[in-house]
Structure 1
Amino acid sequence: MINNISKITIYVQDQEQAKNFWVNKLKFIVKFEQQMGPNMKWIEVAPNETSQTTFVLYDKNMMKTQNPKVNIEHPSIILSTTNIEEAYTEMKNNSVTVGEMMTMPYGKMFSFKDCDNNDYLLREDK
């Protein structure tokens, strides 16, 4: 029935600032960008060209206008890496707000924040 996770929406205050964060600080790419009327763009970013899942950077105020009942305050997203120490160092060097490195029985991980102060978790896949 369902064979893929396609898109995850992240509600942002400023789409261009959010795009800059994901592309320039976390080295994502823009997979799709299109004007959707006079006041909004549809922007999708992903870790690489072959990634099947993208983040849609959606304007918070636009969503409040379109559907006031939608929770726009908290994404719950876990990303993965094969080299957690390298990712941690690179994010810190790119002025990303990162939490403490945590070592759990199932692997290492740390939290980080985007430019809208949303929390994410990066976990090492082994």
Structure 2
Amino acid sequence: MSIISFEIISVPVSDQSKSKHFYQEILGFELIREESMGPAMQWIQLAPKGCATTIALVTWLEKMPPGGLQGVMLNVTDIDQDHATLSARGVQLSEIRQEPWGRYSMFNDPDGNGWILRQAP
């Protein structure tokens, strides 16, 4: 097997426009691609600045309902600053906790998809 990386993570959402606003304006992700996929679907792909792995906001995966993605970890360099910034933007985050694998805080997007901010030890 010659897998070398993850490229796109599908994030199941109920409203692509609302979710695009959250990921782009609240989290600061960059819009990579937005285009029509026929008359009823849109491809919306975003990524944290400088990150090779991207997300796609999907509405068409029956076995992956909105809010069905949990536990995706976003590595950060300054969790205290990022926690304060996201809190000021209205994101409800858990308190920052310490584990041997790093300091972390959890939050959800508007559909309930669960994310983890993590700063390595």
Task: Tell me the TM-score normalized by structure 2.
Answer: 0.91
SS of aligned partner of 1:97 = coil
> Share of identical aligned residues, percent?
29
Match of 1:2 in 2: 3
CA deviation digits over 1:51-93, x for unaligned, max 9? 211001001xx322xxxxx233233311110000001001101
How far did 1:107 drift?
1.8
Match of 1:93 in 2: 88
1:29 and 2:22 aligned: no
Work out the number of aligned pairs and report it.
118
Match of 2:61 in 1: 63
Aligned residue identity for 2:87: K
1:46 and 2:44 aligned: no
* Uncovered stretches (5+) of structure 1, i.e. residues with no partner: 65-69
1:113 and 2:114 aligned: no
Tell me how far apart the structure 1 counterparts of residues 10 and 64 of structure 2 sit (CA, whole Å). 11
CA deviation digits over 1:84-119, x for unaligned, max 9? 000100110110111111012232100011011211
Match of 1:20 in 2: 21
Aligned residue identity for 1:85: D
SS of aligned partner of 2:39 = coil
SS of aligned partner of 1:22 = helix
CA RMSD of aligned residues (A): 1.3
Task: Tell me the TM-score normalized by structure 1.
Answer: 0.87
Is the CA contact (8 Å cut-off) linking 1:112 and 1:120 kept in structure 2?
yes
Aligned residue identity for 1:5: F
Tell me how far apart the structure 1 counterparts of residues 92 and 40 of structure 2 sit (CA, whole Å). 30
SS of aligned partner of 2:106 = strand
Aligned residue identity for 1:71: M
* Uncovered stretches (5+) of structure 2, i.e. residues with no partner: none
